Amino acid sequence: MKNLRGWKLSVFIGVVAVSCGVPLLVQNDYQMQVVFRIALFAALGLAWDLVGGYAGQLSLGHAAFFGLGAYGLALLTKAAVPLWIAVFLAALIATLFAVVMGRIMFRLRGPYFALATIAAAEVLRLLATNLDITQGAIGVTTPALFSGRYFWRWFYLSAVVLAALTFIVNAWVSQSRFGYYLMAIREDEDTASAVGIDTASYKNRALLISAFITALGGTLYASAFQFIIPDNVLTIDISLQMAIITMLGGAGTLLGPIVGAILLLSASEIFKNQFKESHLLIYGILIVLVVLFLPEGIMGGIRKLLGRLQGAKRTAVSAAG
Amino acid sequence: MTGALYALIGMGLALIFGVMRIVNFAHGAFLMVGMYVSWLLFERFNLNPYLGFIVAGVFLFVFGYVVYLLLIRPVRDRSDFMQILMTTGIGLILVDSVQLIFGADYHQTNIELKNRWIRHFGLTFNAAELLSFAIAAVCIIGLRSFVVRSRTGQALRAIAQNRDVAPLMGINVSRIQGLSFALGIAAAGIAGGLLLPALYLFPSVGDDYTLKAFVIVVLGGMGSIEGAAFGGLVLGVTESLTSLYQGNQWALIVDFILFLLVLSLKPSGIFGRQRA
């Protein structure tokens, strides 16, 4: 925990404490379900941030890992694998898939990489739609990890735990040699590899961690809603959501994905009631606005503002002195 | 038969990528807008889609230019990352606005031509498909000769070759880029108008075509217009063969696997030169 010093540690503890207190304020199952999704997508955004934010690789295929987690859980438990083992086994399968995917795709750059990730996730979606084992578009049922009166409360808390663990991973990454390598790759891949960083290997490692967490998120989602179809867990919408949440909050920042998840999901909840099926409209508008006016996201913008204030103070002090 | 339409879609995308280095993730959405324009004309004014596509093309040319000015030009010099996000956002806005306005219902366009068959040389063609093939082929040849022959086309290619030197030669980069973006979008709109009779119309109908357009362009080599035409034909043939032997639902899977194979084995495309 040595990387979580000072105010960061206190912010972290504060956020976790507040998150744990949320269920006391929330009354009905619907609201509980919404806050569950917020916590879940905060975790997913943080996981995406490792690849998309720190390493700067625009993956639009994270739905592949999410869906593999979800379908893995469904199919493994059907094959009589104990529930909690199935959760981690499903995540491991997704990680294996990430190994293969990383091998192929990290040779590609920029738009080619983004396209390849989309294509890979789409292949999985189409396979799940057309194969018998996944029962195609009819979907499969998934077992619930928790049951009883506090059903949603338990799911919410596990999503918070997942988010908190991912936050710790990110906090470690952001101040470790590993993280610096990733950021060097983001800034200039050629230079990074010229100074001796094995860029492919580090990008792969980031993807593995990210895929594992994303798949865990997928199992949580599948188990909470107890029913999955390909168009639900393997769609590009999931990948986009993860990317947008992170970009909105600020890619490559610790708090960004959390801020992004809270803002985007509550906005989309409000719009869902207003515009029915067109709630993705708000995503589109937000993306365009963020790209135009806030390219570093909300946290990036705040950081810049703080930097400017500090700079102003410093010049004022030096002027006075 | 779909090959020529694919070629047209791919050429539009290749034009945008080649001249602007911008990857247009909203290509399918623009195609969908073209379909809706053509459909509206058919429903309201009973205009045949085989004439309506012209209006769709013109409308999308103007629309594309406006989108370029408002949204694309500001991100022209940003990273790939930002440009991809921007076009993705535009795509989402287009699809969901159309859904908001026209609803998510499926529409079908029935024209008499669709039920007419032409027999020749022992082969049977659907008259409607044959007509779209012919129109698409004319558009492809027209677009190609515009890019190769005309003065504006020369400027386009100059920017594609070297964006830093082109303005020194007195080329207005902004104007030419806007033009090429609008042309690319118009090509997608025309293809949309031509596709209308063959497909059910719904707001997210274009989504598959965005990816297909990329498959086409990558197959032929990113940024090469002739390559895109070739990629379109390859994709059309592959799809027909897969649907024939394995069933329709496998066609898209084969598309994507083909795409991943080309990307991992020869990212510059079948006809592409080695990238620097």
Using a cut of 0.90, tell me whether the model's pTM lies above it: no
Q: What residue type is assigned to position B260 of the chain?
A: L
Residue B118 pairs in a beta bridge with B125
ipTM score above 0.85: no
Distance from B80 to chain A by nearest Cα, in Å?
6
Average pLDDT along chain A, 321 residues, taken 10 residues at a time: 60 80 78 89 93 88 93 88 88 92 82 85 87 77 78 87 91 88 87 85 91 94 88 86 88 86 85 70 83 82 81 65 47
Residues B177-206 have a mean pLDDT of: 83
Q: Which of A104, A120, A287 sits opposite B89 (nearest CB)?
A: A287
> CB-based contacts of A101: which residues, under 8 Å, 6+ apart?
A61, A64, A117, A120, A207
Compute the mean pLDDT over every residue in chain B, rounded to the nearest whole number.
Answer: 78
pLDDT recorded at residue B130? 74
A202-215: burial string, b at 16+ Cβ within 10 Å, e else: bbbbbbbbbbbbbb
Per-residue b or e along B42-53, where b marks 16 or more CB atoms closer than 10 Å to that residue's CB? beeeebbbbebb
Residues of B in contact with A244 (CB under 8 A): 85
Subunit contact B80:A58, Cβ cutoff 8 A: yes
| B268: contact with A, CB 8 A cutoff | no
What pLDDT shows up at residue B1? 62
CB A95 within 8 A of CB A212: yes
Q: How confident is the model at residue B117 (pLDDT cuts 50, 70, 90)?
A: low
Q: Do A127 and B253 touch (CB under 8 A)?
A: yes
Per-residue pLDDT tens over the stretch B44-74: 887 777 777 888 888 888 888 888 888 888 8
Residue with the larger pLDDT of the pair B27 and A145? B27
Summarize pLDDT for B197-256 with one digit per residue, the tens.
777 788 878 788 888 888 888 877 766 777 778 888 888 888 778 877 776 677 778 878
pLDDT of residue A241: 87
One DSSP character per residue, B111-132 reads -GGGG-EEEETTEEEEHHHHHH
Nearest CA in chain A to B246: A130
Partner residue facing A284 (CB), from B96, B256, B260 = B96
* Secondary structure in 3-state letters for chain A: CCCCCHHHHHHHHHHHHHHHHHHHHCCCHHHHHHHHHHHHHHHHHHHHHHHHHHCCCCCCCCHHHHHHHHHHHHHHHHCCCCHHHHHHHHHHHHHHHHHHHHHHHCCCCHHHHHHHHHHHHHHHHHHHHHCCCCCHHHCEECCCCCCCCCHHHHHHHHHHHHHHHHHHHHHHHHCCHHHHHHHHHHHCHHHHHHCCCCHHHHHHHHHHHHHHHHHHHHHHHHHHHCEECHHHHCCHHHHHHHHHHHHHHCCCCCCHHHHHHHHHHHHHHHHHHHHHHHHHHHHHHHHHHHHHHCCCHHHHHHHHHHHHHHHHHHHHHHHHC
pLDDT for the residue numbered A209: 94
Inform me whether the C-beta atom of residue A284 falls under 8 Å from chain B C-beta atoms: yes
Using 50, 70 and 90 to split pLDDT, how confident is the model at B276? very low
Q: For residue range B140-176, list pLDDT tens digits in order.
A: 777 777 777 777 777 777 777 777 777 777 777 778 8
**CB within 8 Å of A185: residues ≥ 6 apart:** A55, A56, A192, A197, A199, A202, A203
Identify which of B82, B93, B259 has the shortest CB distance to residue A281. Answer: B93
Judged against a pLDDT cut of 90, whether residue B110 lies above it is answered with no
Most confident of A23-27, A87-91, B114-118, B266-270: A87-91
Q: Over 80: is that where the pLDDT of B107 sits?
A: no
The 8-class DSSP code of residue B1 comes to -
pLDDT at B242: 80
A-B Cβ pairs (cutoff 8 Å, strict): 120
Cβ pair B263:A247 closer than 8 A: no
A48 touches chain B (CB under 8 A): no
